[in-house]
């Protein structure tokens, strides 16, 4: 992993039952997110952009390849933070893609939030607005 720059590159994705929560979270954190480069999967990215006016680069829908697009960005060192509001109680036909996305995020020391509380801690951290390099580099 290279050094994360002060301007963070953030991926935003939410399962269907969590999309409203994601839109509300991004609206509450609009000021800080406006200082980041944002990518969102399909519907999630569109709903965030429509509700907040934030510039969100939209990828494909998660089940149609958006999760894999985010994973590729992470593998290439093009994403610093993944905010992924998951619904652990719903069966997902693309569960394999979700697991692969979380696996590559963990392996590359990408910051991950799978719920609102963790996302709050990330965006309120002083590290969100400064350069950062984890002490341990992933094996590669």
The yes-or-no answer on residue 67 being catalytic is yes
| In the chain, domain spans | 9-128
Q: Which residue has the tokens 């719920």?
A: 115
pLDDT of residue 1: 54
pLDDT of residue 135: 81
Catalytic choice (16, 50, 67, 139): 67
pLDDT of residue 51: 97
Q: How far apart are CA 76 and CA 95, in angstroms?
A: 22
pLDDT of residue 59: 96
pLDDT of 72-117, one tens digit each?
999 999 999 999 999 888 776 667 878 888 899 999 999 999 999 9
**55: which 2 tokens?**
């510039």
Class of domain 9-128: alpha beta
pLDDT of residue 97: 79
Q: How far apart are CA 28 and CA 48, in angstroms?
A: 11
pLDDT of 13-40, one tens digit each?
999 999 999 999 999 999 999 999 999 9
pLDDT of residue 89: 82
pLDDT of residue 138: 59
- 21 contacts: CB under 8 Å, gap ≥ 6: 14, 85, 116
pLDDT of residue 2: 76
């Amino acid at each position: 992993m290279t050094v994360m720059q002060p301007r963070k590159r953030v991926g935003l994705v939410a399962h269907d039952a969590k999309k409203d929560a994601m839109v509300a979270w991004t609206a509450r954190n609009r000021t800080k997110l406006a200082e980041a480069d944002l990518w969102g999967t399909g519907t999630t990215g569109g709903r965030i952009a429509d509700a907040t006016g934030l510039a969100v680069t939209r990828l494909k829908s998660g089940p149609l390849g958006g999760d894999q697009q985010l994973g590729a960005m992470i593998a290439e060192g093009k994403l610093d933070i993944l905010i992924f509001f998951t619904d652990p109680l719903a069966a997902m036909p693309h569960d394999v893609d979700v697991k692969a996305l979380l696996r590559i995020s963990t392996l590359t020391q990408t910051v991950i939030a799978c719920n609102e509380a963790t996302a709050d801690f990330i965006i309120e951290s002083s590290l969100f607005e400064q350069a950062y390099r984890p002490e341990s580099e992933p094996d590669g």
